[in-house]
């Protein structure tokens, strides 16, 4: 049963990487869009793209934390006690970017819009980097077993963790740029399609370079993870590589729809490979999944709750994204449309 729960937990991690990652990546492109005048059009596409769904994307993060502390409490205690610095900073970044994204549309002065926009972009850059360092700390076994706290700094400020942070940033930027190509086309913004297509091509190349360089870092600093990536997780690594190269070719050829699917395979493949590479450990090589699992009654309750969520929550999320892709949702913060003549109040005269 603990294995089933671990798989469910990692499904949540994978979903957050794909959906939440694209959300953060859009904020990074907001940061790189330029000044107020030059960046106005790209930021408009970004706002219209993530506005209806950005809050829903964080459902997956909440799901991951709830399942982790409920089903694997000892591992949760070790991870949060050791990595409280990057986790607290990531939480601050999530709140900062969410509040700034909302307030940026509610203020009128240009100075205030710039300040909130800068906070939104900074939070978008911070969060994936910090979560990447957390993943690196866990994968290298720098988190102690038994619920104990490890070193609060060297645990996540090390070569593999920093690689994880940089790779997370470039991966979400790449994923978001591919999504934005499709969204700009859906919105009829032809010039923005080319704008984001060029950036998607560049970010795909950069992500590939970082991933290749990371092989040498992981080989030197995380031997168990490296062995897993080159053996049992190798098929997923190849899926990621094929997805990355395929999306690059499709972007160059202008096949935007299939490029998005290939980009999801590239990012999802490498995240899934990380999980398979460190199997059967929650924290290599000191804490196996079965050793840190909660009692069977608790795990059974989590399975029931997950089944109910599949019936109740997943259809609602699917409906939200479907309506968004069909342009049937209003832009967040947009003014109400004017009343039609038939809706206008009758003339008292």
Please spell the DSSP secondary structure of 76-92, one letter per residue. Answer: HHHHHHHSHHHHHHHHH
The phi, psi pair for 164, rounded to 5°, reads: -60, -40
* Band of residue 118 on the pLDDT scale cut at 50, 70, 90: confident
The phi, psi pair for 283, rounded to 5°, reads: -130, 105
Structure tokens at 200: 């998607």
Which of the pair, 205 or 39, is modelled with greater confidence? 205
Question: What is the percent of the chain with per-residue pLDDT over 70, rounded to a whole number?
Answer: 91
Structure tokens at 343: 């809706």
What pLDDT, on the 0 to 100 scale, is given for residue 107? Answer: 67
| pLDDT single digits (tens) 59-105 | 889 999 999 999 999 999 999 999 999 999 999 999 888 888 777 77
What pLDDT, on the 0 to 100 scale, is given for residue 273? Answer: 93
Give bridge partners of residue 283 from the DSSP assignment.
Answer: 287
Q: So where are the chain's domains?
A: 2-325
What pLDDT, on the 0 to 100 scale, is given for residue 334? Answer: 45
98-112, 121-135, 176-190, 316-330 — most confident range: 121-135
Closest CA to 243 of 225, 228, 261: 261
Least confident of 174-178, 190-194, 327-331, 337-341: 337-341
Our measurement of the distance from residue 95's CA atom to the centroid of its chain's CA atoms, rounded to an integer in Å, reads: 15
* Band of residue 255 on the pLDDT scale cut at 50, 70, 90: confident
The Cα-based distances of 143 to 79, 218, 289, 294 in angstroms read 6, 17, 15, 19
Torsion of CA 209, 212, 215, 220, to 10 degrees: -50
Least confident of 19-23, 151-155, 166-170, 342-346: 342-346
**Looking at the predicted structure, is the pLDDT value of residue 342 above 80?**
no
Task: Determine the longest span between alpha carbons in the chain, in angstroms.
Answer: 84
What pLDDT, on the 0 to 100 scale, is given for residue 110? Answer: 63
First to last CA, the chain: 74
**Looking at the predicted structure, is the pLDDT value of residue 258 above 50?**
yes
What pLDDT, on the 0 to 100 scale, is given for residue 268? Answer: 92
**Looking at the predicted structure, is the pLDDT value of residue 336 above 50?**
no
In terms of DSSP H, where are the helices of 154-233? 159-186, 190-221, 223-229
Report d(CA 25, CA 169) in Å as an integer: 7
Structure tokens at 1: 């049963």
**Looking at the predicted structure, is the pLDDT value of residue 345 above 70?**
no
Which of the pair, 82 or 327, is modelled with greater confidence? 82
Mean pLDDT, residues 110-130 taken together: 84
What pLDDT, on the 0 to 100 scale, is given for residue 99? Answer: 84
**Looking at the predicted structure, is the pLDDT value of residue 120 above 60?**
yes
The Cα-based distances of 84 to 9, 94, 143, 149 in angstroms read 20, 15, 11, 10
Coil vs helix vs strand at 283: strand
What pLDDT, on the 0 to 100 scale, is given for residue 108? Answer: 65
Note the pTM of the prediction, 2 decimals: 0.87
Say how many C-beta atoms besides its own lie within 10 A of residue 338's C-beta: 7
Least confident of 15-24, 125-134, 222-231, 327-336: 327-336
What are the b/e assignments for 203-226, b being 16+ CB within 10 Å? bbebbbebbeebeebbeebbebbb
What pLDDT, on the 0 to 100 scale, is given for residue 52? Answer: 67
């Amino acid at each position: 049963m603990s294995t089933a729960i671990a798989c469910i937990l990692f499904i949540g991690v994978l979903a957050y990487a794909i959906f939440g990652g694209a959300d953060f990546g859009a904020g990074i492109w907001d940061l790189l869009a330029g000044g107020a005048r030059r960046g106005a059009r790209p930021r408009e596409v970004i706002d219209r793209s993530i506005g209806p769904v950005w809050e829903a994307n964080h459902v997956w993060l909440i799901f991951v934390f709830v399942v982790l502390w409920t089903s694997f409490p000892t591992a949760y205690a070790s991870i949060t006690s050791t990595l409280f610095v990057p986790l607290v900073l990531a939480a601050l970044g999530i709140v900062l970017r969410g509040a700034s994204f909302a307030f940026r549309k509610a203020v009128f002065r240009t100075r205030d819009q710039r300040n909130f926009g800068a906070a939104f972009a900074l939070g978008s850059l911070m969060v994936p980097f910090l979560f990447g360092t957390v993943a690196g700390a866990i994968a290298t076994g720098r988190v102690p077993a038994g619920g104990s706290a490890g070193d609060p700094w060297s645990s996540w400020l090390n070569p593999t963790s920093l690689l994880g942070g940089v790779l997370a940033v470039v991966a979400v930027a790449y994923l978001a740029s591919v999504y934005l190509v499709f969204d700009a086309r859906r919105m009829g913004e032809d010039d923005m399609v080319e704008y984001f297509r060029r950036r998607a091509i560049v970010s795909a190349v950069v992500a590939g370079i970082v991933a290749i360089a990371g092989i040498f870092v992981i080989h030197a600093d995380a031997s168990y993870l490296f062995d897993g990536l080159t053996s049992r997780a190798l098929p997923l690594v190849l899926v990621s590589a094929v997805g990355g190269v395929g999306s690059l070719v499709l972007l160059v050829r202008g096949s935007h729809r299939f490029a998005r699917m290939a980009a999801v395979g590239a990012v999802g493949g490498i995240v899934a490979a990380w999980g398979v590479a460190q199997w059967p450990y929650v924290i290599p090589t000191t804490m196996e999944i079965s050793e840190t699992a909660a009692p069977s009654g608790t795990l059974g309750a989590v399975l029931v709750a997950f089944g109910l969520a599949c019936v109740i929550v997943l259809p609602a999320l699917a409906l939200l994204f479907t309506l968004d892709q069909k342009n049937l949702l209003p832009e967040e913060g947009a003014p109400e449309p004017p009343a039609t003549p038939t809706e206008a109040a009758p003339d008292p005269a």
